[in-house]
Structure 1
Amino acid sequence: MQHRHIVKVLLGICVAFLLGACSPFSKLQKSGTDDEKYKGAVEYYKKGEWYKAGLLFEELIPVLKGSTESEMAQFYYAYTQYQQQQYLLSSTLFKKFYETFARSEYVEESMYMYAYSLYKDTPAFNLDQSNTLTATSALQDFVNTYPDSKYKDEATKLILDLRGKLERKAYEKARLYYKTSGFNIASYKSAVISINNFQKDFPDSEYNEELAFLKVDAEFSLAQNSLETKQKERYQEAISYHQAFVDKYPNSRFLKQAEKMYDTSVKEVERLDTLEKEREKEKEKLKNAPAKVTASNQ
């Protein structure tokens, strides 16, 4: 019974192969003239049969070089790859098109599709964002080059969307440093630096209130875990960050927690000031104390 089933499957595969070998597309590929292949590729393209159209255009492009059909063949070929979600390849092809056919009526569209293909290839926010930066730059270049383009509004929306990814990535990076700070004092410093960079790059972000508080917390915790010689300066930094936080977010939900750290920081600065003064007095006493008379001085 199982043997019969295997035979049927193999027969089905053979029939499908033979039918495919005799299909109009297969015949066109094997024995069609360049003109017939071009017309066939355009027809497949119009019907949305991207794979077949792509195969034919890919074969024709080297042959059509220098002809009147060459421009459209390359333009259509780029779209066939885009429609098959081969975004990196389509971006390369669209870029090559507008660089090769600088006077084409499709230059603007191909430049937009280059940037849009890059946009479609960008990863989720938690992954490496190198491609996101490249896509953002390409979209911004397009808007700068064609400020009145029909694609301008959409390109602007895409830029904002990509900036949202970069913003979320930077936010999560800062939070990660903060979360791991308890295991490594260097992470407190990294958290503060990351938050400062975030506030500079994304001044209007919805995450800034939380991060402003975490910066106070991170600097306060850094001071607590530092050598005594560095504590005063770091507590003073925590006080400064707290003041900036309160000025900007006077009604923040983090206010009570921040106030506790502020009070402790002020007390610690006062304590460290007192210790410094006491040590200075001790130094002065030792400096002004009369020299002891020893047997060698007599």
Structure 2
Amino acid sequence: MLNLKPEDAQKRLITMRKLIVLMAIIFLASCSEYQKILKSTDYGYKYEKALEYYDQGDYMRASTLLQELISVFMGTDRAEEAHYKYAYALFKMRDYISSVYHFKEFVKRYPNSEYTEDARFMIGVNYYHLSPNPRLDQTDTNNAIEAFQLFMNLYPESPKVEEANKMVEELRNKLVYKSYLNAKLYYNLGTYLGNNYQAAVITARNSLDDFPDTKYREELSFLILDSLYIQAVNSVPEKEEERLRRTLDEYYAFINEFPESSYLKQANRIFEEVTKLLKKYN
């Protein structure tokens, strides 16, 4: 801690006060200037100031001006740029719902614009940011994937294709994780109000069919094996043998694909129990 002399401390305090006053003056002057711009009917000047605010990263002021100028300059090149930068300003302010709406509107109005390629990409990016926790509804996740796929189909040579692919992979993993959580929920419900193990198997298989390269493939595959096993050992006598053999087939498929699986001990225990129970049918 600095030990300042009383006179030095007083000087520092005065300097700080001067800085605060100066900053307040600058802020008020800035506000005053902005209010004048808002009230101005010189739309060319407004447009220049909107772009200036945009370039400075003052997206709140830029977006307010650009929103007005879109309709003022309708049918001109300025309207095109104003609309594009307005949508981008909304994105920068993290208003993803409004941003995706205006990027979509931009694409409809200006399908051949120099900004259209990036606008289509930004539709996907906005939905990517709107994509929620895997436990919640995944409509925006699906919207993001569809938007990126359309972008990559339309612009296969775009330098942003690699980035789009990475986001699509992440989004797909989110979808399959949600599916895994659903399958796990059915598994945990067990026989409550019906045979939830069968629902777990169906959900997990659908996930593997839709996303064969998922990083959750091992977890889903073991969940199928374990669910089949539990169904088999709790079967009525007339269905037991068939279900045990299905479980055995699933076991061989599992260890063939995942010979070093972290679930190997549990899988081998299932194998031992199933082969023991099948002896009475041989």
- TM-score, L = length of structure 1: 0.77
What is the alpha-carbon distance in structure 2 between the residues aligned to residue 70 and residue 182 of structure 1? Answer: 61
Find the counterpart in structure 2 of residue 161 from structure 1: 170
8 Å Cα contact 2:40/2:46 also seen in 1? no
Q: Which amino acid aligns with 2:183?
A: A
1:249 aligns with 2:258: yes
| Distance of aligned partners of 1:210 and 1:46 in 2 relative to their CA distance in 1, 3 Å threshold | closer
1:106 aligns with 2:119: no
| Distance of aligned partners of 1:74 and 1:256 in 2 relative to their CA distance in 1, 3 Å threshold | closer
8 Å Cα contact 1:185/1:225 also seen in 2? no
Paired residue for 2:141, among 132, 140, 160?
A: 132
1:26 aligns with 2:30: no
| Distance of aligned partners of 1:40 and 1:206 in 2 relative to their CA distance in 1, 3 Å threshold | closer
Give % identity: 36
Q: Spell out the pairing of 1:258-273 with structure 2 (5 A cutoff).
A: 258-271=267-280, 273=281
1:88 aligns with 2:97: yes
1:176-215 per-position Cα deviation (integer Å, ceiling 9, x unaligned): 2222226455211111112212222332334323332322
What is the alpha-carbon distance in structure 2 between the residues aligned to residue 68 and residue 91 of structure 1? Answer: 21
Number of aligned residue pairs: give it. Answer: 257
- Kindly name which structure, 1 or 2, has the bigger radius of gyration based on alpha carbons: 1
1:40-62 per-position Cα deviation (integer Å, ceiling 9, x unaligned): 21221122111111111112222
What is the alpha-carbon distance in structure 2 between the residues aligned to residue 74 and residue 196 of structure 1? Answer: 45
1:116-150 per-position Cα deviation (integer Å, ceiling 9, x unaligned): 12112211222221111110111111111111112
What is the alpha-carbon distance in structure 1 between the residues aligned to residue 161 and residue 224 of structure 2? Answer: 38
| Structure 1 residue ranges without an equivalent (≥5) | 1-14, 275-298
Shift of 1:21: 11
8 Å Cα contact 2:173/2:215 also seen in 1? no
- TM-score, L = length of structure 2: 0.81
Paired residue for 1:46, among 49, 55, 58?
A: 55
Paired residue for 1:233, among 235, 242, 266?
A: 242
| Structure 2 residue ranges without an equivalent (≥5) | 1-23
8 Å Cα contact 1:21/1:27 also seen in 2? no
